[in-house]
Amino acid sequence: MRQISDPTTPMPPEHEALLILTRQQFPNLAGQPCKVEAIIKGGSDRHFYRLVWDEGVHAPMILMVYTMARSDNPKFVPATYRLQKLGVRVPTIYAFDPDKLCIWVEDLGSVDLHAKANEPWEVRRPFYEDALREIAKVHSERESHLTASTKAELEAPFDEPLYEWEQKYFLDHFVRGHLERDFRAAEFDSAHQALKLLRQRLAKLPRCLVHRDFQSQNIMLRGSDAWFVDYQGLRLGLAEYDVASLLFDPYVTLTDSCRDDLLHFYAEQRGVSTFELRETFYLCAAQRLMQALGAYGNLSRNLGKPRFKEHIPAAVANLTLVCRSSQALGELLPLFQPRKTN
């Protein structure tokens, strides 16, 4: 959803101020007319504006205004440079003002992978495959490849405490907050043991670079090419977490057959067998979907963004499917499944 400035009305003072900042960064644009469009998308605390100049003056650019409320917000710039070194398609940074908390970047357009959600699978599939081809470049960067200084530029890696934080986020904001269930009750003891075993198991696996929020709204499309955005959470983790984020994305619908085909395609990009990936893929899918449900509960109940509530049924359906894929994950079902009534 986008809110676009009406050119027949005076520009809001906020937009005027942002335009002044922009012209200070780009003196050659001083005096050039510009339309400012506020872009409203996602659950971020950042604000985005599209700056559209007269044709031939400058290509449209996106101004990102962020806060220091989240540790990952200022990591966008170093993450961009890291991904560019790997040959990953990400927007070019035109300018960066760390004091004003502003970043000016290349405008990738307004079509994301989510916009193709209602297209036939034969139309959507090439875009998914290209996105998986690109993310495989990110995952090729193993933990052993990174220097201490590079690791310092990233967000804190996935480890057992972070997996536990995601699980607690799910319990607090979805199980207790949304479902109004006391997850500390004795009836959920087996579920808590399953959560503990899950995070311990994931934490022992070798890590690589991951996007962290690899879903359809963070993949922009230019022609037939997939480009990545919102990767400021770049960190060390499990490749399967990213893949599960995309293939079990609650914002879109994929059939089991589509997921299987895409998982096989990704395995080919990595030079591994689908069998090797599948088990960890489902474990990561459970972890990711719990994190997503926690976010939907928090955003809709506490942060004034009720629209995220509409994604809960799809996320629950996906998590149910995933948990029924293995006996260990099946212990999680009582936490979020409808209670049986007599």
Q: What pLDDT digit, counting tens, does each position of 80-107 carry?
A: 999 999 999 999 999 999 999 999 999 9
Give the model confidence (pLDDT) of 274-323 as tens digits.
999 999 999 999 999 999 999 999 999 999 999 999 999 999 999 999 99
CA neighbor of 239 nearest in space, from 212, 257, 221, 204 = 212
Let me know if the fold of 2-106 is the same as that of 113-336.
no
Question: Does position 244 have pLDDT exceeding 50, yes or no?
Answer: yes
Q: How many CB atoms lie within 10 A of CB 217?
A: 17
The domain segmentation of the chain, as residue ranges, is 2-106, 113-336
- What 3-state DSSP class applies to 242? helix
Token pair 């950042």 is found at: 46
The domain covering 2-106 belongs, at the CATH homologous superfamily level, to Phosphorylase Kinase; domain 1 (3.30.200.20)
Both tokens of 216, joined, read 């359809």
How far is it between the farthest Cα atoms of the chain? 73
**Those residues with Cβ within 8 angstroms of residue 256's Cβ, 6 or more apart along the chain or in another chain:** none
With a cut of 90, say whether residue 9 has pLDDT above it: no
Confidence of residue 193 (pLDDT cuts 50, 70, 90): very high
Question: What is the tens place of the pLDDT at every residue in 130-179?
Answer: 999 999 999 999 999 999 999 999 999 999 999 999 999 999 999 999 99
Q: What is the dihedral of CA 234, 240, 244, 247, to 10 degrees?
A: 100
Could you tell me which CATH number the domain at 113-336 has? 3.90.1200.10
The pair of three-digit structure tokens given for residue 57, joined into one six-digit string: 């003056």
Angle between helices 160-170 and 189-203 (to 10 degrees): 150
Q: How many whole angstroms separate alpha carbon 60 and alpha carbon 49?
A: 10
- Whether 245 has a pLDDT exceeding 70, the answer reads yes
Tell me the pTM: 0.93
